[in-house]
Chain A
């Protein structure tokens, strides 16, 4: 690693700035896990094919494994460690516990961060691949179970907790919009 292949950057994670020197090759995922001690974000495939490393970048869900840390400077990063409000769990987290929306728990941080993104995207009126009519005049689609399934499909769960995850996201959506 030479000066030209590394750099000093500041990452804004969960509202806190962190200044560190990174090898340009370092992904945001590895920077979070290996440099900042934020191991809640999981590495499932390291190639954008499982969703376990989902975080929020400027409020939108993204996979941290394909995001270079050096290119994440000046962006607001929210990880699973920053989802709860102090000691108070977010309704999505609460619903995952109550409805058993997990088993081994390894995909869970990604599922939860993804669900936060889904709720925001749906609230913004974004259609999905199962939205019957994407034209604006059709209005925003209702957040049915099928809509949740499609929108959450970027988060694989090998234990097969899908049924409970969908229930948890649906319950949290009601709480959040109430």
Chain B
């Protein structure tokens, strides 16, 4: 077995998940200056939507029984729906509140979603098997790679390019980029705030659904708390990338995934349990050198 290609595939697939989660956060931060801490809970919600509501340890597939061709669009739509609904119910009421109030509300929203899931599904993690065939390893460039890793890498590239195309080539994309840089100016030019914000939440929620499908297939576990860990990494990625910068979020997502995988392989055995401490030390160093993030967005810079 060849170690270097193996590392590459591990890093790229983990980074891809982080990048997609970070994109979901950066999209909303860009248009609303809101760090939506409920994003991780959107992911958990999408995971649990796959199974029949019950508190049994073994999950019975519900939506997860549907064929992929049906399941994927339905789950993406469901992710978009919960994100848009939370905007409508919570964040729209706070449109003119200060960003800290909005951020705290996003925590509250996250707790509400998490506790609703707890009440319905119980607190025990459940074994769940979505597309188990995808974990069969295949041989690529001398490395043994689960098919899923390849799919994650390809999906990430597709999602990122589709998003880039949408932002670059469509009317709503143009309006979202303009609004992300200067919302007031965009509105003075007739850009409808509600359309842009709803669009950003829908995209963000769909990204959460994509992450949910990948995580579930990879880990085979549905856990009410699963959103928290990925949310933390994704949030750090958006900060390292430069809050509000979409290319920055993607790049930093991949970077953190890569560092994480390399540390896992390179650290001496005794130090491995402390991998995250090393990872976040590196993050601190990056932020000390570039406090504005790797790709600071123009809106974050003070304007004269």
Asked if chains A and B come from one complex, the reply is: no
